């Protein structure tokens, strides 16, 4: 990619918001991330979770390298390095939890729990940023947490402890999402994704000192696919936030719960139980309602 194209990708443009385009970008991100999740599940069957997380980030660096070279030093320069590093730390921590749960749960259940982040975000903003939790979303929060309970099933024989790891990933992911939203106000998409890939690669390299496994060609191919699909999905995801407010486009990310359910059946012959289906539907509905009410200011 030439200098002009590379610089354009790393330059923040104050263009008008386009909700329709943002929604399409988010829906594409959901579909691609569902495919990435299937690859993550396959990779976890072949090697350790630490290997999967490391290669996901490493491939992301190589995918973005041509744009970084084309952008040059000016395109990569940022005054928000601290925010990039914090977002990277939170994001890679969420990644460890999410990838671990994807490898050990039904794909649709793991993603449904992972996308419960909007239910935790208002509380994070309350205690971290000092912003009050709007009363208009309390009903949605209660409804969403009830959906989480139906998937986790505490106290029932179907309870899976790994579901708690998925929830931890959702909480960490909520922190990371807050970081992405702040960064998109002044930073271009590719720079955000590249800094995240660099931070994630550096952090995830340390656990490999204790868990490195020489991958077979089959495993290496799967790991490369994980990194490629996840990076492409993240580019679409971040671009969607750059096109329109999160409350307008984020609901379309829940489409990945449906996509992953189809992949779960086609690739592993697994279907969610009735409680999980109802719980996933409640999480999706509650998430959409919360985001809409925050956008419209309905009391």
- Position 299 confidence tier, pLDDT thresholds 50, 70, 90: very low
Label residue 98 by pLDDT band (50, 70, 90). Answer: very high
pLDDT of 48 = 94
Residue 12 lies in a domain: no
Q: Are 116 and 148 in contact (CB under 8 A)?
A: yes
Spatial neighbors of 245 by CB under 8 A, at least 6 apart, are: 17, 295
Q: Lowest-confidence range among 10-19, 133-142, 218-227, 274-283? A: 10-19
Task: For residue 53, tell me if it sits in a domain.
Answer: yes
- pLDDT tens for 126-147 read 776 667 777 888 888 888 889 8
Residue 219 φ/ψ, nearest 5 degrees: -65, -40
Mean per-residue pLDDT for 217-227?
95
pLDDT for residue 294: 64
Confidence (pLDDT) at 246: 67
Please report whether residue 63 resides in a domain. Answer: yes
104-131 tens-digit pLDDT: 998 888 988 987 887 887 787 777 666 7
Q: How many of the other CB atoms lie within 10 Å of CB of 267?
A: 12
CA–CA dist 254, 283 (Å, integer)? 9
Euclidean distance between CA atoms 171 and 242, whole angstroms: 23
Q: Is the pLDDT of residue 15 over 60?
A: no
Return d(Cα 135, Cα 206) in angstroms, integer.
43
- CB-CB contact of 32 with 252 (8 Å): no
User: Which tens digit of pLDDT belongs to each residue from 37-86?
Assistant: 999 999 999 999 999 999 998 988 888 777 767 766 666 677 777 888 88
Q: State the pLDDT at residue 3.
A: 42
Range of the domain at 196: 3-7+18-296
Q: Is the pLDDT of residue 6 over 50?
A: no
Give the mean pLDDT of 235-254.
77
* pLDDT of the residue at 46: 94
Question: Is 93 a domain residue?
Answer: yes
Instruction: Report pLDDT digits (tens) over 264-279.
Output: 999 998 888 888 889 8
Note whether residue 13 is domain-resident.
no
Per the domain annotation, does 27 fall within a domain? yes
Mean pLDDT of the chain: 82
Q: Residue 289 to residues 80, 138, 190: CA-CA distances in angstroms?
A: 32, 11, 30
Give mean pLDDT, residues 212-233. Answer: 92
DSSP helix/strand/coil, 207: coil
More confident residue, 222 or 247: 222
Non-local (6+) Cβ contacts of 105 within 8 A are 160, 162, 163, 166
Is residue 236 one of the residues assigned to a domain? yes
Asked if the structure places residue 134 within a domain, the reply is: yes
Work out how many domains the chain is built from and give that number. Answer: 1
With bands split at pLDDT 50, 70 and 90, how would you rate the model's confidence at 176?
Answer: confident
Cα distance between residue 164 and residue 152, in whole Å = 8
pLDDT of residue 244: 74
C-alpha span between 8 and 24 (Å, rounded): 21
């Amino acid at each position: 990619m030439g200098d002009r194209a590379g610089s354009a990708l790393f330059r923040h443009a104050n263009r008008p918001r386009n909700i329709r385009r943002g929604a399409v970008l988010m829906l594409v991100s959901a579909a691609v991330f569902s495919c990435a999740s299937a690859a993550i599940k396959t990779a976890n069957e072949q090697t350790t979770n630490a290997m999967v997380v490391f290669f996901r980030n490493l491939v992301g660096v190589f995918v973005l390298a041509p744009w970084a070279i084309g952008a040059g030093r000016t395109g990569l320069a940022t005054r928000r390095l601290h925010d990039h590093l914090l977002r990277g730390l939170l994001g890679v921590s969420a990644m460890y939890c999410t990838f671990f749960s994807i490898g050990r749960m039904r794909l649709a259940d793991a993603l449904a729990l992972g996308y419960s982040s909007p239910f935790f975000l208002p509380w994070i903003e309350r205690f971290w940023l000092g912003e009050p939790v709007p009363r208009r979303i309390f009903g949605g929060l209660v409804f969403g947490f009830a959906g989480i309970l139906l998937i986790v099933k505490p106290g029932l024989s179907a309870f899976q402890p790994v579901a708690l790891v998925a929830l931890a990933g959702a909480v960490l992911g909520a922190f990371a999402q807050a970081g992405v939203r702040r960064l998109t106000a002044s930073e271009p998409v590719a720079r955000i994704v590249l800094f995240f890939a660099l931070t994630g690669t550096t952090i995830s390299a340390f656990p490999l000192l204790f868990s490195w496994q020489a991958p077979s060609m089959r495993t290496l191919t799967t790991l490369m696919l994980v990194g490629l699909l996840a990076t492409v999905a993240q580019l679409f995801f971040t671009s969607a936030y750059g096109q329109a407010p999160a409350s307008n486009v984020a609901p379309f990310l829940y489409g990945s719960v449906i996509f992953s359910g189809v992949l779960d059946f086609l690739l592993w012959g697994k279907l969610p139980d009735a409680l999980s289906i109802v719980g996933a539907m409640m999480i999706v509905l509650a998430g959409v309602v919360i985001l809409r009410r925050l956008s419209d200011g309905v009391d």
